[in-house]
Amino acid sequence: MRTTPVLIHISDTPDHIYKYIFQIISSVRPEFVVHTGDVVDNTKLESQEHLSGEYSRIVSSFINKLETITNGTVVLTPGNHDNIGLMKHYSNSIGKKGFYNGYNHINFILPEEEMIFTMKYPLGISEMRGINRPLFRGI
């Protein structure tokens, strides 16, 4: 019996490595699994819209299996190539286990307390990322 909880963090998972991920999770039996997107890394929906049906099938299968084999808490974070609507539709991880995106907030995960807190990034982060044009400050 472990005395320290184990958290497995995965991200950017192409569907051909799912079997390996499931084997690791089944073997290690972590208390927490955190996936920080992209769930189907080999499908970029914004440039491959014709694959949305296949993406939906793969996401459904992956999330179902992940939630079935994980005894602990699952945290799913949609990535920039994920469809958050489909992820929410297929996931039982809504609410307590939730969706948290590190793009908009800094997330503090307290696994033993099963609590997650978010903190906003400082003002101007969008400009630093090149999303918005910087404000003209004048002279």
Work out the pLDDT band at 133, boundaries 50, 70, 90.
low
Domains and CATH numbers, the chain: 7-128 (3.60.21)
Label residue 3 by pLDDT band (50, 70, 90).
confident
Read off the pLDDT of residues 96-124 as tens digits, 9 standing for 90 and up.
Answer: 455 666 667 777 777 677 677 788 877 87
**CA gyration radius for the chain?**
17
Average pLDDT, the chain: 82
Return all residues near 139 (Cβ < 8 A) that are at least 6 apart.
Answer: none
CA distance 18 to 34: 14
Provide the strand spans (E) within the chain.
7-10, 32-35, 73-76, 105-110, 115-120
Q: Is the Cβ–Cβ distance between 61 and 19 less than 8 Å?
A: no
Give the Cα-Cα-Cα angle 130, 85, 12 (nearest 5 degrees).
60
Helix, strand, or coil (residue 76)? strand
Residue 137: is its pLDDT beyond 60?
no
